[in-house]
Amino acid sequence: MSEPILHITGLNKSFGPVHVLHDIDFDVRAGEVTALVGDNGAGKSTLVKCIAGIHGADSGTIEFQGREVHIRSPKDAAELGIEVVYQDLALADNLDIVQNMFLGRERGSAWLLDEASMEKAARETLASLSVRTVKSVRTPVSALSGGQRQTVAIAKSVLWDSKVVLLDEPTAALGVAQTRQVLDLVRRLAEQGLGVVLISHNMADVFEVADRIAVLYLGRMAAEVYTKNVTHGQVVELITAGRSGDIGLARPEHAVL
């Protein structure tokens, strides 16, 4: 097994008196989809935001590509190649696909943007992800369906030569066909060698695309297991009770790996 690209140990996070994350250990490996599951309020989004630099962690270390890093802002995370795809709040409706994909990192000089290069790169990225549902890369995002928006948001993260992509419930608001489309895309990201973290509530989706599953239970990492080593029922039990048979909390060395 290769070294994890992102290696988190002993991460703690409190909001005032509320201790949300307890001594979290969490690994993300390149070329793998790691599903992050857990009940509502378990702390999944908070963990992602700590990694993304939106919240500062109280303690704990984050190693990226074997090197300890300090992520203090979204910019730090982006510079390392860590991208987050939020369920919403990701795109500006009034801008078109190209403008959204390059938002904050426009090409060209500040006083003359290089539209041609951006448009070409956006199209090539979408093509490399085999996205075939957008009529034109100059379509305003307001005219896209929910699935297409999510696709653009994900493609945006790929454009940046990113190494780790974190997706917080990317399919929560989508229909069946659109969910399909996004899951395919998630798989393709991993095939391109990125480390992918997928937060999802849907067990079928998780079992379909994830190589590994990390279960958060009340702010603690209950288990990090390989998908092929567990059953549906076990994961549900881990989510709801924090343990299942010999996997889960209450055991000091909780990971089966």
Partner 1 sequence: MNEKEPTMTQTPTASPNTAITDFGIDTTTMSTSEAVRDYISRLRAGQLGSLPALLGLVALVIVFASLSDVFLSLNNLANLLAQGAGQTIIAMGIVFVLLVGEIDLSAGTASGVAGAVLAMHFAENGNLLGGMGSTVFIMFLAALGLGAVLAALLRIWAGTAMSVLGIVIAASGMSANPWIEMLLALCTGTAIGCITGYLVSRIGMPSFVVTLALFLAWQGVILQFIGEGGVIGISSSPVLDKVANGNLSVLGSWLLCVIAVGGFAAATLGRHFTRLRRGLVTQPTSIVLFKVGGIGAIGIAATALLTVNRSPNDNIVITGVPYVVPIVLGLLVIGTYVLNRTRYGRHIYAVGGNREAARRAGVNVTKIRASVFVVCSSVAALGAIVYSSKVGSVDPQAGGLNTLLFAVGAAVIGGASLFGGRGRVSDAVIGGTVLAVVANGLGLLRQPAAVVSIVTGLVLLLAATVDALSRRRAASATR
Judged by the rule CB under 5 A, the positions of this chain that interact with Mg ion are 45
Q: For residues 34 and 28, give the distance between their C-alpha atoms in angstroms, rounded to a whole number.
A: 7
User: What number of residues does the chain have?
Assistant: 257
Q: Does residue 38 touch ligand ADP according to CB under 6 A?
A: yes
Among 6, 8, 11, 20, binds ligand ADP (CB under 6 A): 20
> Nearer Cβ to Mg ion, position 45 or 162?
45
Number of C-beta neighbours around residue 247 at 10 A = 21
Q: For residues 166 and 154, give the distance between their C-alpha atoms in angstroms, rounded to a whole number.
A: 9
Q: Does residue 253 touch partner 1 according to CB under 8 A?
A: no
Q: Does residue 43 touch ligand ADP according to CB under 6 A?
A: yes
Residues 178, 145 contacting (CB under 8 angstroms): yes
Query: In angstroms, what is the minimal distance from the CB of 107 to ligand ADP?
Result: 34
180 burial type by CB count under 10 A (0-12 exposed, 13-18 middle, 19+ buried): middle
Q: Does residue 120 touch partner 1 according to CB under 8 A?
A: yes
**Residue tagged 């390059």 (tokens):** 102
DSSP-derived pairing of the beta strands 112-113 and 164-168: unpaired
Q: Does residue 128 touch partner 1 according to CB under 8 A?
A: yes
Stretch that binds partner 1, among 28-36, 118-126, 219-227, 233-241 (CB under 8 A): 118-126
Residues 160, 105 contacting (CB under 8 angstroms): yes
> Nearer Cβ to partner 1, position 54 or 255?
54
Query: In angstroms, what is the minimal distance from the CB of 217 to ligand ADP?
Result: 10
Q: Does residue 44 touch ligand ADP according to CB under 6 A?
A: yes
**Residue tagged 């000091």 (tokens):** 252
Binding site for ligand ADP (CB under 6 A): 15, 18, 20, 38, 40-46
